[in-house]
């Protein structure tokens, strides 16, 4: 079973701070995706990383895929209240079904 573990589970920070959330597995994934989910809504895809060592930037968000394709990180610079939400990583398992991590719930206080 390919599992994804996310840490931390909860994060509460002040506006302007930097943060990093992690997505780890003991298994190799062909790709990993990051989603953000806001209350009352479904997850929205932020990025897909495919190549080991790949780094992608989306404004203040930086995503990295581990060299061995077993882990990924999301770094947010100068967090804003609009970044508040549940951050989920996901990857295709052996049956090509999307498996999700438990998520990191981020709260950014003004």
Partner 1 sequence: KAGVTQTPRYLIKTRGQQVTLSCSPISGHRSVSWYQQTPGQGLQFLFEYFSETQRNKGNFPGRFSGRQFSNSRSEMNVSTLELGDSALYLCASSKLVRADTQYFGPGTRLTVL
By CB under 8 A, name the binding residues for partner 1.
31, 33, 35, 40-45, 48, 88, 90-93, 95-103
Q: How far is the CB of 99 from partner 1 (least distance, A)?
A: 7
Beta strands in 15-79 (DSSP E): 19-24, 32-37, 44-49, 55-58, 61-65, 71-76
Q: Nearer Cβ to partner 1, position 50 or 78?
A: 50
Q: To the nearest whole angstrom, how small is the minimum distance from the Cβ of residue 16 to partner 1?
A: 29
Closer Cβ to partner 1, 35 or 63, answer by number: 35
CA gyration radius for the chain? 13
For residue 11, what are the CA distances in angstroms to 3, 55, 62, 78, 109? 22, 23, 17, 14, 11
Q: How far is the CB of 61 from partner 1 (least distance, A)?
A: 18
Residue with smaller CB distance to partner 1, 49 or 79 = 49
CB of 18 to partner 1, least distance (A): 26
The CB density around residue 97, as the number of other CB atoms within 10 Å, is 8
């Amino acid at each position: 079973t390919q599992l994804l573990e996310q840490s931390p589970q909860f994060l509460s920070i002040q506006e302007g701070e930097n943060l990093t959330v992690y997505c780890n597995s003991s298994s190799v994934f062909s790709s990993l995706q990051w989603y953000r989910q806001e209350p009352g809504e479904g997850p929205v895809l932020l990025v897909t990383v495919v190549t080991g060592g790949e780094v992608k930037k989306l404004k203040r968000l930086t995503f990295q895929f581990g060299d061995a394709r077993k882990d990924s990180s999301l770094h947010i610079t100068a967090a804003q209240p609009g970044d508040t939400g549940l951050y989920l990583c996901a990857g295709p398992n052996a049956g090509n079904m999307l498996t999700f991590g438990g998520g990191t719930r981020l709260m950014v206080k003004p």
